[in-house]
Structure 1
Amino acid sequence: MNDQIENKFSYHAPKPGQPEIYQEIREKAKELAYLIDQKAPDSREKSLATTNLEQAAFWANAAISRN
């Protein structure tokens, strides 16, 4: 059995305080997403910036839930 695989592909119920942290990260990412949307011209680069911001928020929350 590989502990890393087990951890990555298992459900991690939120521990006390974690939902608030997830929300804080999402709110800050949303704030930046709006800034990018307002200031950057519509383009592939803008789309990539938004996608990567979404991924960053996801992975930050995954780091909290998995560790």
Structure 2
Amino acid sequence: MNQQIENNFKYHAPKDGQPERYQAIREKAKELAYLIDELCPNSREKSLAMTNLEQTVFWANAGIARNE
């Protein structure tokens, strides 16, 4: 049995303080998303920036959920 695979593919119920940390990460990313939307012309690059920002939030929150 591979412990990392088991951990990565199971449900991680939020622990005390985690939902607030998830929200803080999402709020900061949303600020950046609005800045990108305002300053960058509509383009493939802008779309990729937004997609990667979403991925950043996902992985940051997964890092909290999976490792605490």
Unaligned runs of 5+ in 2: none
- Could you tell me which runs of 5 or more consecutive residues in structure 1 were left unpaired when the two chains were aligned: none
1:25 alignment partner in structure 2: 25
Q: With structure 1 as the length reference, what TM-score do the two structures score?
A: 0.99
Identity of aligned residues (%): 78
**Secondary structure at the counterpart of residue 41 of structure 2:** coil
Q: CA deviation at 1:35?
A: 0.2
CA RMSD of aligned residues (A): 0.3
* Matched residue count: 67
4+ residue segments displaced more than 6 Å: none
Letter in 2 for 1:22: Y
Output the TM-score relative to the length of structure 2.
Answer: 0.98
Instruction: Tell me how far 1:17 sits from its aligned partner.
Output: 0.1
